[in-house]
Amino acid sequence: MFRKPLFLETFILLATVGILNYFATRYHLYWSTYEFDSLVHFLGGATLSAFFLWAYFFSGFFDPQKRKLKNFLLVAFLGAMSVAIIWEIYEIFLGEVAVSGAEYPYDTMMDLIMDFLGIMAFCFYGYMREYNQKMIIKNQNE
């Protein structure tokens, strides 16, 4: 499992987001540093994308027959955006955001856009890893 594609990348991204979140909450970086929140959301989207791609295509839990780009996009987008939307709802219930504030719609949309960009960036990275692996195997068989 540890040697499967995307596992190491997923772990590194998760550790990075965890460390950044620790320092951000400890030193109030989300509120004092412009766009730090966007950086963490981008990396969070990439982390979720990495996890869902690894879990579906590489972990061995599933047996996906079609490994095309549209399947990578579908798995990464549906899985990661579901978590991203649930996270935004969680923030409301946690009381971290003021829904009645004028900045709430902008902040939430920016968070989801950055999540989306992180998802897409890692999705293309994951697909290119798969594509390159196919090409290496194809060239070895010739």
Asked, for residue 19, whether it belongs to a domain, the answer is: yes
Asked, for residue 142, whether it belongs to a domain, the answer is: no
Asked, for residue 140, whether it belongs to a domain, the answer is: no
| Distance separating alpha carbons of residues 89 and 57, to the nearest angstrom | 28
Place of tokens 């195997």: 137
Asked, for residue 4, whether it belongs to a domain, the answer is: no
Asked, for residue 2, whether it belongs to a domain, the answer is: no
pLDDT band at 79 (very low <50, low <70, confident <90, very high): very high
| Distance separating alpha carbons of residues 44 and 111, to the nearest angstrom | 10
Cβ atoms of 53 and 6 within 8 Å: the answer is: yes
> What's the confidence (pLDDT) of residue 60?
83
Asked, for residue 3, whether it belongs to a domain, the answer is: no
Residue 2 has pLDDT above 80, yes or no: no
| Distance separating alpha carbons of residues 128 and 8, to the nearest angstrom | 16
Asked, for residue 32, whether it belongs to a domain, the answer is: yes
Residue 98 has pLDDT above 80, yes or no: no
> What's the confidence (pLDDT) of residue 1?
58
Q: How many domains does the chain have?
A: 1
Q: What is the pLDDT of residues 46-74, one digit of tens each?
A: 999 999 999 999 888 888 888 899 999 99
Q: Give the domain extent around 119.
A: 9-135
Asked, for residue 141, whether it belongs to a domain, the answer is: no
Q: What is the pLDDT of residues 112-136, one digit of tens each?
A: 999 999 999 999 999 999 888 888 8
Place of tokens 């979140």: 21
H/E stretch holding 128: helix 104-141
Residue 29 has pLDDT above 90, yes or no: yes
